[in-house]
Structure 1
Amino acid sequence: MGWPLAVSAALMERKPGRLWRALAALAGGHLLSMLAILLPFTVLLWLVDYQRQIQIGAALLVIALGIYLTINRRHPRFLARVRPTQLALWSFLAALAHGAGLMLVPIYLGICKTIETDAGHAAASVLMTSNTTVALGVALLHSLAMMTAGGALAFGVYRWLGLKFLSKSWFNLDLVWAASLILVGVIALVMA
């Protein structure tokens, strides 16, 4: 139904070539919308077929990252200064990289096999699969709790303690993070 928009674009700019450019843009948008719906389901089917191989590959990747972080102790410089206009993007990428939402996908998809033995996984599965409103409420409440705790710390440091306190009392958990990645990777490899 976008063809009238293509005609309108060509008429407004009085150039016949704009018709084809508009049609290409409309076709591209339509294709992207179909891919956004179809690709995740295709990928999920592929993931089920190759679950063991993916588990082994992911475990090896996590172990390699842990070893790399143990050897290379330098923190990435581009993370040192994030502009205020980029905070939402940074937060999205950091949460994505740390698996904030991704850790819930196996429970949501029902591929977490510990439901019979683990009441926490069972409760999360029931909440996430039976009531979307509750799942969204949990996500909102979690975000609010994280922001409240982080906001209280940030306000305290900003208002009373200052940057000098922060620079003198900072402790680096990179080595602990690297060791935990290696441990989790080894456990995942053994269980695969």
Structure 2
Amino acid sequence: MTGTTALWLTVAALGAYHGLNPAMGWPLAVANGLTERRAGAVFATLLPLGGGHLGAMSVALLPFAWLAGYLSWRHAIQGTAGAAVVLFGVYKLVQPRHPRALARIRPTQLAWWSFLAATAHGAGLMLVPVMLGLCAQQSAQGPVGAAHWGVMDLLGRSSMVTALWVAALHTLAMMLAGLAVAWAVYRYLGLRFLRRAWFNLDRVWAGSLVAAGAAGMATAF
């Protein structure tokens, strides 16, 4: 398995991990299905949740992807990004409570809720080290012999496209994982299962942020 393939698989795995986390919204899909008493309502809810998540990933990734086009800064950018992810993970370990503002958003604004929830949990930041690794591999295979600024512009645009693909693949994996668990709870397990087997991934989430940031810092130099 090549390094590039491993990084793309990591993007998909993180998406599935985010989808399984109740904080990313699959319980809302279950609640919508139970409220309307039809299975289609479960699927319909996940679309705005996925759209909001995609927006949050893009907002977090695109600035770093744009900066990664400047090769002379790449190591500093990757190291800084890794440190930011570590610090945010430590903050979530110390302060794991969810922002109260998320509880005040109306049910008709699910995409906005999903965007804010993913941003507040640092879901996009977790992807930054992986995305920068993909951009670095692209830069190593970039064109040779062209004018310096032409190469910078080409690699910058290539990094932006890579960031969008990372956000899209990650969100697709998140939606599929969220749909699977929401459908299982709605169709087979029911609310009684949630009361008996509710799981809290906040600590695991914060720890994974620290691990992802540390990996980004280790590979930056």
TM-score scaled by length of structure 1 = 0.48
Higher relative contact order (CA 8 A, sep 6+): 2
TM-score scaled by length of structure 2 = 0.43
Q: Whose radius of gyration is greater, 1 or 2?
A: 1
